[in-house]
Structure 1
């Protein structure tokens, strides 16, 4: 059966929660460019090697006049399960997870990008299902930043050989967190570069990781990048802020303060942004989860399957293309709303 072509479906929503104007500071061309970057993260994983300059140039077409330099390729650490190579179950593999790019115009650096990919392996599905919240410990200034999804935080901080983050080692060697810190040093290696905007992006699991990454950058790289230079564009992000024995919205409050330029693009026919469920009962304990975003751009494109509704290529890239073309949200039946 062929997949239906992308098309908007009518989305009915209370008028009090919708507006027909884009959020302040939202850049539709940047959104399409970052969706294309998310596509490249899947290409990187599929080939298992670093992206070439030709691949990058051919994929990133949303904004003309720019050239892109690959500054870093991010890898993640995952447990190997049944059917693993000779090392067998209990060993750990290193897999591609994203990259850092610098965009230049006329030979002058213009902006930087950090991009992270979505779920592709069985180990990542297990991480996605680990919903017990943990403290966001990467904020070395404020220990009350809040709690986040344990599986996502583990994926971001797990080091080579399966070394988990600890109070004495928040960024184990080989972790995405350690690589992001190194990439920030490379991208902002002189005083002039602090004026360069930084865009953080991801799709699905990558969107959740991009939330952690953006918060990490905001609280730990303030000397490298100007306060208003950081923007997060996420696609199909699951809920990240959680609480079991703590406030489930504490991370939301701190995140919105530290990363005010945050935008979430979500298809209302996509189940992933609704997970984990906002309220789970674990015996007598209540486990609550919340989205972290100040601004959510929601639309409805029902393509007939769970996979297609969540797909970057089939759903989110076409929507970003519509945004960049300057269409009327009223004509498209899209709704732009503040996250609640």
Structure 2
């Protein structure tokens, strides 16, 4: 069911920013297109599963907002990180629960850069975190960290097609500490069903339990393909149906900003 408390215009703007994170990976940060009100503060680089540094997003700000954007999975090495579904302690909160080892490894390799950049920005601005696919899991980890360890309390989080990130304890503390959070997912998209609720390690036989953070915003747009059901452009197109006039204006005002 659609959650009417979610701001559709914010969701559209953030989904488009997620789309720009893929442009960044392919063409460089200088190729990112944002609305005129925003400027990029810094790019975000992180380690892939093989240890190579890759662009994973950026931090942008306007006069009233800060937006941390994380991209999703685009390379084979990222998928290997996704497959590391064993869990480890979330180290940035007391009794923080257990989280996906592969996702945390990527986030930790970018954390210093993010925290340093945020220390130079005003905590009086509204902070948004967003990400698509793997980027949704990174946004979730980052929000839990920043809400606990910085002056940025109650960050707003919008994710699109995010996998599960951690266990019940982690999800509970995330839900308590962060501000409005909307986990937008397509019921036909397989990625949000991963990792499974109970994951058994093929190597050790250990069982790991996963649960989604709140709040779920369900969309239903079967495209006929795995890639289409998961693409950020598909999410944007479906959200655009909820406010077509605004979506058209958003795309027309900043050519190249919206995913297609």
User: Which category of TM-score, normalised to the shorter sequence, fits these structures?
Assistant: 0.7 to 0.9
- Structure 2: state its 5+ residue gaps: 247-260
User: The residue matched to 2:209 in structure 1 has which SS?
Assistant: strand
User: The residue matched to 1:237 in structure 2 has which SS?
Assistant: coil
Partner of 2:232: 312
Aligned residues of 1:116 and 1:207 also touching (Cα < 8 A): yes
* 1:36 to partner: Cα distance: 0.6
Partner of 1:7: none
* 1:51 to partner: Cα distance: 2.8
Q: Once the two structures are superposed, what CA deviation does each residue of 1:118-139 show, in whole Å capped at 9, x if it has no partner?
A: 0111111110000000111022
Partner of 1:77: 47
Aligned residues of 2:29 and 2:43 also touching (Cα < 8 A): yes
* 1:292 to partner: Cα distance: 1.3
The within-5 A match list for 1:273-284 is 273-282=192-201
The within-5 A match list for 1:46-195 is 46-47=26-27, 49-52=28-31, 55-57=32-34, 60=35, 67-80=37-50, 92-103=51-62, 109-139=63-93, 142=94, 144-157=95-108, 175-188=109-122, 194-195=123-124
2 CA distance for matches of 1:21 and 1:136? 29
Distance 1:325 1:137, change over 3 A: same
Aligned residues of 1:268 and 1:300 also touching (Cα < 8 A): yes
Q: Which residue of 115, 133, 147 maps to 1:218?
A: 147
1 CA distance for matches of 2:30 and 2:158? 21
Q: In the alignment, is residue 22 of structure 1 matched against residue 4 of structure 2? A: yes
* 1:217 to partner: Cα distance: 0.9
2 CA distance for matches of 1:286 and 1:263? 28
Task: Please report the RMSD computed on the Cα atoms of aligned residues, expressed in angstroms.
Answer: 1.9
More helix by share: 2
TM-score when scaled to structure 2?
Answer: 0.88
Partner of 2:216: 296
Q: In the alignment, is residue 202 of structure 1 matched against residue 131 of structure 2? A: yes
- Structure 1: state its 5+ residue gaps: 1-17, 61-65, 81-91, 104-108, 158-174, 189-193, 242-247, 328-340
* 1:79 to partner: Cα distance: 4.9
* 1:326 to partner: Cα distance: 8.3
2 CA distance for matches of 1:286 and 1:94? 31
User: The residue matched to 1:96 in structure 2 has which SS?
Assistant: strand
Q: Which protein has the larger Cα radius of gyration, Structure 1 or Structure 2?
A: 1
Aligned residues of 2:131 and 2:158 also touching (Cα < 8 A): yes
